[in-house]
Amino acid sequence: MNAARAIVGTCLACLALTACSREDDNTLPGTLERQRIELVADANETIISLPFQEGTAVKAGDVVAVQDRALSTADVDAARADLAQAEAHAQELTNGPRSTTIRAAIARRDSARVQRDDAVRERDRLLGLVKQSLVSKSDVDRQVTAADSAEQTLHAAEAELRELQEGTRAEQIAQAKQAVDSARARLTGLLTTNSRLEVRAPVAATVDALPYRVGEKPARGATLVVLLANTAPYARIHIPEPLRARVSAGTTATVRVDGDTRTFKGSVRYVSSDAEFTPYFSLTATDRSRLSFLAEVTLDDAAAANLPAGVPVQVTLGLDAPK
């Protein structure tokens, strides 16, 4: 019985020591990372040029991939023509009818008036003759119809002239200007799409991957080029739950990189607020069942700028002893 109690006491002591050692251990494994930038295809067009190979350093603004622009250029030309047509129509409505058009309308009105007067005189003459039984009633009816038709023609010519003299309605001009704005917006969109067929590096970086080759036709939205930005690298670690309350943005850290004897200073820049199960490669076998919080530690030393991404690191957090 005493032997059993001794064994249990020993086991409990070992568990307590193990727990304490885990909570006091501020050194965590992780990997060195850099900002990863994926440049995607804006159109389903064939790749015609990849100026840089994997591992090549590029500057901000360098063209890293070029897609075929033939169809896009044709669409741009058509959009320019549509815009020019819309602008000409809007200008035409703004200027109003030409003086020669108004004079032509005046001439048509005067001609219609003469024809109306002739038809009315002939109608009145026949009405006088029918009373004397010199013409048939049907002849008079036909002339009455002709006079009425001439009157309607005159009214139409007068209305056309008034419309020209009053000029273009404000609503028509507004619609024409809206059509110009729509055509200009379409052209701008096509020009933007056309320019994006030349994919440029947004920052100074290193070409990490080229998923496609020249001659291939990636789908729209597919990744054309993967870049690793030439900014300060950072270590990605998982903070065990017992340490989470003592770690925040700005917490200092010391980073050791596998294969490098130097020690680099750093600071925590981000800690996830969502807990997750620690990946198998991040902690020891006894810690794998514990929750952890993803964190990123920026390497502040300028000497860390040339460190490669993906290598394992050991991060020692500058934490005060737990109270």
pLDDT score recorded for residue 203: 92
- The domain 38-73+191-229 having CATH identifier 2.40.50.100: the answer here is yes
Provide the percentage of residues in the chain whose pLDDT is more than 90: 43
Domain chopping of the chain, boundaries: 21-35+231-317, 38-73+191-229, 75-189
Backbone angles phi, psi at 47, to 5 degrees: -75, 125
- Angstrom CA distances, 103 to 110, 111, 116, 117, 235, stand at 11, 12, 20, 21, 83
Tell which residue, 217, 231, 224, 232, has the closest CA to residue 200. 224
pLDDT score recorded for residue 216: 93
Q: pLDDT digit string (tens) for 36-65? A: 999 999 889 999 999 999 999 999 999 999
pLDDT score recorded for residue 281: 55
Burial (CB < 10 A; 0-12, 13-18, 19+), residue 250, is exposed
pLDDT score recorded for residue 52: 95
Q: pLDDT digit string (tens) for 147-183? A: 899 999 989 988 888 877 777 778 888 999 999 999 9
Mean predicted confidence (pLDDT) in 243-257? 90
pTM, rounded to two decimals? 0.58
pLDDT band at 219 (very low <50, low <70, confident <90, very high): very high
pLDDT band at 287 (very low <50, low <70, confident <90, very high): low
With both helix axes pointing from N to C terminus, report the angle between 170-195 and 70-95 in degrees, rounded to the nearest 10. 160
Tell which residue, 317, 233, 229, 226, has the closest CA to residue 268. 317
Token pair recorded at residue 8: 């249990």
Q: From the CA atom positions of the chain, what is the Rg in Å?
A: 43
Q: What is the CATH number of domain 21-35+231-317?
A: 2.40.30.170
- The span from the CA of 233 to the CA of 23, in Å, is 27
Token pair recorded at residue 28: 């965590």
CB burial readout 105-125, b (16+ within 10 A) else e: beebbeebbebbeebbebbee
Tell which residue, 287, 301, 292, 298, has the closest CA to residue 32. 298
CA end-to-end span of the chain, whole Å? 37
